[in-house]
Amino acid sequence: MTIPAAKLSNPAVRALVAAINGGDPTAFFAVLTPDATMSDDGSDRPLAAWAEREIFSSRGHIDVQTEKDGGLALIANYRNDTWGEMRTAWRFTVDGERISRFETGQA
C-alpha cells in the first residue's frame, strides 16, 4: 500500500517527495538547506549532480510504502528511466523546516 505524499508526517519530507514526484527541481532544492548533503548506498555524492541524474533527467518517482521515526525514515519503491524500480530506504535529517541531509540506498 502506497502512502500519498500529502499524507506523510514530516512537512519537509512531504514537500521533498512531492517535488520528486512532480519533477520539480525548484521545489526540491527549496526544501533543502543551502549546504545540504546526501549519500547513495553509503557513499556521499554531489547533491545537485545526483538529483539531476537520478531524479530529474531520468523521471524519478518515489512511492512510499512505510514511514517511521516521525516521518524521517521511509521505505519506498523508487523508479527512474535509468535503473527501473527498486526498493529503497530513505533517512532524513531536518534542520528547522528544511532538510539538511538525506541518505538513500537499496532496502
Name the nearest CA neighbour of 77 among 92, 62, 59: 62
Position 72 scores a pLDDT of: 98
Count helices and strands in the chain by DSSP H and E runs: 3, 6
pLDDT at 26 over 90: yes
**What average pLDDT score do residues 23-40 get?**
98
pLDDT at 51 over 90: yes
Mean predicted lDDT score pLDDT of the chain: 97
Residue ranges covered by each domain of the chain: 5-106
Position 1 scores a pLDDT of: 82
CA 100 to chain CA mean position, Å: 12
Contacts of 1 (CB under 8 A, 6+ apart): 65
Q: What is the CATH number of domain 5-106?
A: 3.10.450.50
